[in-house]
Amino acid sequence: MLDRLKELGSEARAALQSAADVVELESVRVKYLGRKSELTQVSRGLKDLDPDERRSVGMAVNELKKELGVLLEQSKERLESAGEASAGLDLTLPGRMPWVGGKHPLTRTYERLESIFRGLGFEVALGPHVEDGFHNFDALNIPPDHPARDGWDTFYIDDEALLRTHTSPVQIRVMESRKPPIRIIAPGRVYRNETPDASHGSEFYQLEGLYVDRDVRFGELKGVLIRFMRELYGESVNLRFRAGFFPFTEPSTEVDVECLICQGTGCSVCSGTGWVELLGAGMVDPRVFEAVGYDPGEFTGYAFGLGVDRICMMMTGTDDIRLFLENDLRFLRQI
């Protein structure tokens, strides 16, 4: 009996190892371990054996069953993973990271600007994109027929309505609805009817600032802008304040930052000058206060407007403003 079990064992081992697929393996299982298998029959017959034989055969049967059970599992695993591989599934390949979306570089830039200005005591105000001539121009001391009006190439919707050409009309709306002190930033998209090129978009983002109170001085404006630029670009940033002209501020200034892409040596972003104009600013013109019903004898203030896209270009090393609107993932994923 024990010899027969040995024979049975080597037969079963060979059959388990040579099974070519899981179907064949299953028939091997049925044959050697199934209810009608020889092994099962020997187990059943144990009770008819005399006690000594019963013990030794019983042990041998149990051992063999155990061993074949383990071999069966191993063969099953081997055949299953081979089956998966031939079905094109290779479990040894490294995992693939799912691609998660991210904020647009302009959004991230704006959020950085907002947090700096909030830290300086400014709150956020918003205004409509479809404006009227009064808020976009007249109240900002740019009357109809004034040549300065040509400075903003405007998309007109009809005789009354236009797409705002800058965020400055939000200054007017805030002052119309509140009394000083006012300290706001007004971010948002603006529109210009001009042919886009590497540094001009027909739509882009601005961030307007306005502070109105009693006794506001130009020195405070300069201080806030320098603080802002240093927060944004680091303490060693080089700035240049130039005299400028805007109808809604007097005196006015334009602020340039040394080009961070070429470190001032000249490149396509700074048109070879080494400097990039980032913002316009100045003391609010008394005519603007009159337009919103403030007494220019009582209140003074400063305003500024900066180009978010320009700042984003400098921060990301992007040399074409149009890339921000094209939503080309190959570009966006690099930033």
- Binding flag, residue 246, ligand DAH (CB under 6 A): yes
Q: Does 249 bind ligand DAH (CB under 6 A)?
A: yes
Question: Least distance in Å: CB of 209 to ligand DAH?
Answer: 7
Nearest residue (CB) to ligand DAH, 188 versus 305 = 305
Long-range CB contacts for residues 195-198, cutoff 8 Å, separation at least 24:
196/321, 196/322, 198/268, 198/319, 198/320, 198/321, 198/322
Nearer to ligand DAH, 75 or 199 (CB): 199
Pick from 39, 281, 311, 313 the residue near ligand DAH by CB under 6 A.
281
> Which residues, including other chains, have CB under 8 Å from residue 139's CB and lie 6 or more apart?
169, 172, 288, 291, 292
Alpha-carbon gap, residue 48 to 186, rounded angstroms = 98
Closest CA to 42 of 69, 70, 15, 6: 6
Query: Under a CB-based contact definition with an 8 Å cutoff, are residues 269 and 294 in contact?
Result: no
Dihedral, CA atoms, 115, 119, 121, 125, nearest 10 degrees?
10
Interface region with ligand DAH, contact rule CB under 6 A, candidates 127-135, 279-287, 293-301, 311-319: 279-287
Q: Does 208 bind ligand DAH (CB under 6 A)?
A: yes
Q: Per CB under 6 A, does 305 bind ligand DAH?
A: yes
Which residue from 133, 188, 201, 280 is in contact with ligand DAH, where contact means CB under 6 A? Answer: 280
Q: How far is the CB of 233 from ligand DAH (least distance, A)?
A: 20
Structure tokens of 307?
A: 């180009």
Give the E-state strand segments of 215-313 in sequence order. 239-246, 249-258, 275-284, 300-307
149-178 residues in contact with ligand DAH (CB under 6 A) are 166, 168
Cβ neighbourhood burial of 79 (10 Å; 0-12, 13-18, 19+): middle
228 belongs to the binding site for ligand DAH (CB under 6 A)? no
Report how far residue 247's alpha carbon sits from residue 282's, in angstroms, rounded to the nearest whole number. Answer: 10
Which of residues 127 and 280 has its CB atom nearest to ligand DAH in the complex? 280
- Of the candidate spans 7-15, 131-139, 300-308, 309-317, the one that interacts with ligand DAH by CB under 6 A turns out to be 300-308
Nearer to ligand DAH by Cβ, of 42 and 210: the residue is 210
Binding of ligand DAH by 201 (CB under 6 A):
no
Residues that bind ligand DAH (CB under 6 A): 166, 168, 208, 246, 249, 280-282, 303-305
